[in-house]
Amino acid sequence: MFKPLDPLLHSELRLATISLLISVEEAEFPYIKEQTGATAGNLSVQIDKLSAAGYIEVEKTFKGRRPCTICRITSAGLRAFEDYVEALRSYLEVKS
């Protein structure tokens, strides 16, 4: 009756990160950190998990002499998010 929820996206910070990346073409690490209210260390770990799953693509570059991390959602990440939302709807549509 219930569709399974993707455990990777069921984390609040990972879900917030994916949701944010859906609405923008790309986002730099400080912007994601600011929007999610996460600590740099926690966000870094969660971005690594999303990247390892193929849900986001991470580009590490420099702006002048400062490191710059840019994140983009992948087509696999978009599909995973859409599936997650659909599965969540199955929980919300239960009638007693």
Average pLDDT over residues 41-62: 98
Range of the domain at 18: 12-92
CATH code for the domain in which residue 60 is found = 1.10.10.10
Q: Say which residue, 12 or 2, is predicted with more confidence.
A: 12
Average pLDDT over residues 31-40: 98
- Amino acid (one-letter) located at 37: G
d(CA 80, CA 66): 32
Confidence at residue 17, expressed as pLDDT on a 0 to 100 scale:
98
- CA-closest candidate to residue 26, choices 90, 92, 73: 73
Q: Is the residue at 1 inside a domain?
A: no
Confidence at residue 96, expressed as pLDDT on a 0 to 100 scale:
57
Confidence at residue 68, expressed as pLDDT on a 0 to 100 scale:
96
Q: Is the residue at 2 inside a domain?
A: no
